[in-house]
A and B are shown apart, each in its own frame.
Chain A
Amino acid sequence: MIAASPHLVRLDGVEKHFGAVRALGGVDLTVERGECLGLVGHNGAGKSTLMHILTGTAVADRGQLMFAGETQVSYSPAQAKRLGVRCVFQELSLCPNLTVAENARVFHPALSGFNWRRKAAALIIDKLDAIFPGHGIGASDLIQDLPIGRRQMVEVARAFTATDEPVRLVILDEPTSSLDAHTAGQLLGFMRRVVEGGVSCIFISHLLGEVLDNCDRIVVMRDGKTVADGGARTFDRDRLVSAMGGVDARTREARAVKAPARGQSPLRVRARSGRGAGAAELVAHQGEVIGLAGLAGHGQTALLLSVFSGARRARAGIEVTASMALIAGDRQADGIFPLWSIAENIGVRSLATLSRGLLISRRREDALADFWRDKIRIRTPDIHDNILSLSGGNQQKALFARALGSDARIVLMDDPMRGVDVGTKLEVYDLIREEAASGRTFLWYTTETDELKQCDHVYVFRNGAIVADLSRDELTEQKVIQSSFTEAG
């Protein structure tokens, strides 16, 4: 009877409002069995809300949800789980104080009894081995001790583990955003194998190439509605971008501005990575955009942090000649102040210039926030709203505003574009070029080749040391990958 229905999931006219804001305005969506559905759209287009409705963590105001041909009346996270719906959320849903095995146990009530630790460990490690061969994660590692990329791997693997409940639909919400190219490739390969095996996947990503290459069908969302729906073959990059209603697709390679020769402008940062005497140096001059490349977790963030602390007190091997601001990579943990308003979040780096005497001038703080809201289009009705009322990408814009609105002459960026949509990215690239032209220096750790192409100079990291030093003309994706993997020959 269940097999009679062609669709695994069918949504009809689903609406969802948060106060006055309409997050979903009548969405129709179907997912077939054994299909990989790509879902793309701007930040705030309603993708995450839609997924929360599918997993039962949010309840639709109107419309109906059918699963395997049966209309779901009182749909809850527990019911979703029973039906085999799994989700890898954008905000990690692991307990940082528990081990990898214990986090698997949290997910599976069936893992109990005398031997549960061994069973849980075997379950999660087998799945990690299947998805990410050579992952280097142990079942007894605490999540808090793992870097963000590995945490994401555990999160992904856990979603695919099965005990007494089957896995029928896996929702992957930006699963590759914290992974480097290599592990992202492993995940996408595994996703294809699972889909061949009859499991359905919904794949949400801002990396349009990933969506085009790995999905069977693509749905485009915009302003809380689906605006395009078709086989992946019928789309290309430009069509997707224009359907999303964002910035027109344009070639970013052609940039008339030619950066001046290195060494003409004053030195801003000189830092040595690693401890060895022969370790290569990172050098940044005024007005340069410097890229830090390589696989995730190979010392790029560590270097940024030591440069950042080097600005405050003298550290061996680090030389900094101007004020500095850092845009954190782990937005939720290190970036936003979750209890503060958007305006307060933007102004916190500039309190010295915003204050009158001992007090903060609300007028100046608002003026600063208003200026940046208009300049980089932070989508909010009121800058005094809580920062969490913004979607992920807009929170990130507020963090950019915090750094760029300050007096910092050097801006450190720790892979800040994770989970940010294409339109926003293009806007931020332009902003960075503009700020660099006016004399700001950027140190930019990124895992995406597109972003490295925005840089004047790129350093490739491996095992905490700089192993390659590429100028913009020399930079190709192949060279970066080659340097990242030199050990393997």
Chain B
Amino acid sequence: MSGSAAAAKPASRAIGRLNLPRLLRALLPALSLALVLSAIAWLNPRAISYFGFTLMLNLAIPIALATLAQMFVIAGNDLDLSIGAFVGFVGCVTATWLREAPLVGIGVLLGCVGVYAALGALIYLRNLPSIVVTLGMSFVWQGLAILLLPKPGGKAPDWLLATMGVKPPLVPFPILAALAIAALGYVGLMRTSYGAILRGSGGNAVAIGRAGWSLLSAKMALFACTGLFGVLSGLALIGITTSADANIGNGYTLLSIAGVILGGGEFVGGRVSPIGAVIGALTLALAASPLLTFMHIPPDWQVAANGAILIVVLAARVLISRREAER
């Protein structure tokens, strides 16, 4: 077996090398978050405190939840352009029915998850492009939200306000929440045995079908998860803002997509990372206003600056993978 020994040698060396880009790919989102944090610390050291983090990251929780919601559809090679309008609708339901008639509110929110699963089934069975279907749905959600709450108003249920206002000792609540969200997404999608099937359906759907799995169920499960996390995002958002507005979630569609990509996900091929997505959402939330405010950049320029950060991080990712490929 001297031949096999010789064949094994280059093999093990090659494997050792191949894991490096994978590690870098995984670390890049964390590096960009660290970069933004250190910039904030340098500009305004007082922001790095219990109170500062609570203030800066509060709005990051609903963004992180919406980003995870988006990540589930992206894992199946789809996109959800309605997540922002959906979060807004959930917010309106939360600030009205969920407070006044909790059972109706809960029923409506669960029904929303069901609608999402049905959308997944529709997209799979009719072979429709998900962007078209969800773009259409975004108008539906938006319209329903305006019907429900024509003017900004309503009030969050007290239990929700209490939950979002928790002040745990030592570690700020938003950080604990982000850790919990990331852990939930990671265990659910990356560690469970059905999670592997869900991601596989984005990587090579034919192979999953040939192995005897139902692609319809997989698609429905992914969309239902999106609906579920969209509901959680709406709840968290209203828990922070205390009242609702039909347009409250509109920015979330693009933020959530950017967060997934920033966190190491790719649009096709089922390559997503829940932990990365949460980190991406935090980075975007921090870069969006606290950092730019400390840098004295006027609000008019904040969206452009946000875009610039995204481009820089994505460029770094491409450079890293290219260098590794050449080695």
Residues of A within 8 A of B (CB): 55, 57, 77-78, 81, 93-98, 102-103, 105-107, 109, 111-113, 116-117, 133-138, 141-142, 144-147, 150, 182-183, 186, 295, 297-298, 462-463, 485, 487-489
Say yes or no: A109-B14 contact (C-beta < 8 A), given A95-B200, A96-B204, A134-B4. no
Contacting pair B8 A135 (CB below 8 A)? yes
- A238 to chain B minimum Cβ distance, whole angstroms, is 31
Smallest CB separation, B197 vs chain A (Å): 6
Taking the closest CB of chain B, its distance from the CB of A257, in whole angstroms, is: 35
| Residue in A57, A145, A462, A489 whose CB lies within 8 Å of B22 | A145
Inter-chain CA distance A133–B2, complex, in Å, is 11
Judge whether B3 is part of the interface by a CB distance below 8 angstroms.
yes
Chain A residue contacts of B209, Cβ below 8 A: 77
In-complex Cβ contact of B3 among A55, A57, A488 (8 A) = A488
Q: B203 and A96: CB pair below 8 A?
A: yes
Q: For the complex, what is the distance from the CA of A107 to the CA of B196, rounded to whole Å? A: 11
Count chain B residues whose beta carbon lies closer than 8 angstroms to a beta carbon of A: 40
Complex contacts, A489 vs chain B, CB 8 Å? 2
Residues of B within 8 A of A81 (CB): 211-212
Q: What residues of chain A lie closer than 8 Å to B199, measured between beta carbons? A: 95, 97-98, 102
Whether the Cβ atoms of A77 and B212 lie closer than 8 Å is: yes
CB distance from A278 to the nearest CB of B (A): 19
How distant is the Cα of A248 from the Cα of B208 in the complex, in angstroms?
A: 42
Contact A133 B4 (CB under 8 A): yes
Contacts of A144 in B (CB 8 A): 269
Cα–Cα, bound, A133→B11 (Å): 12
Known pairs A93-B204, A136-B14; A111 contacts B7 (CB<8 A): no
Q: Which 9 A-B pairs have the closest CB atoms?
A: A136-B11, A134-B8, A95-B203, A97-B203, A134-B4, A488-B6, A95-B200, A488-B2, A93-B207
**A77 and B210: CB pair below 8 A?**
yes
**Complexed CA–CA distance, A485 and B5 (Å):** 9
Q: Are A487 and B18 in contact (CB under 8 A)?
A: no
In chain B, positions 193-236 with a C-beta closer than 8 Å to chain A are 193-194, 196-197, 199-200, 202-204, 206-213
Contacts of B127 in A (CB 8 A): none
State whether B213 touches A106 (Cβ < 8 A): yes
Q: A94-B207, A95-B207 are in contact. Are A105 and B212 (CB under 8 A)?
A: no
Contacts of B197 in A (CB 8 A): 105-106
- With a CB–CB cut-off of 8 A, which chain B residues contact A55? 210
- B302 → chain A closest CB, angstroms: 34
**Contact call A106/B200, Cβ cutoff below 8 A:** yes
Of all chain B residues, the one with the shortest Cβ separation from A78 is B212
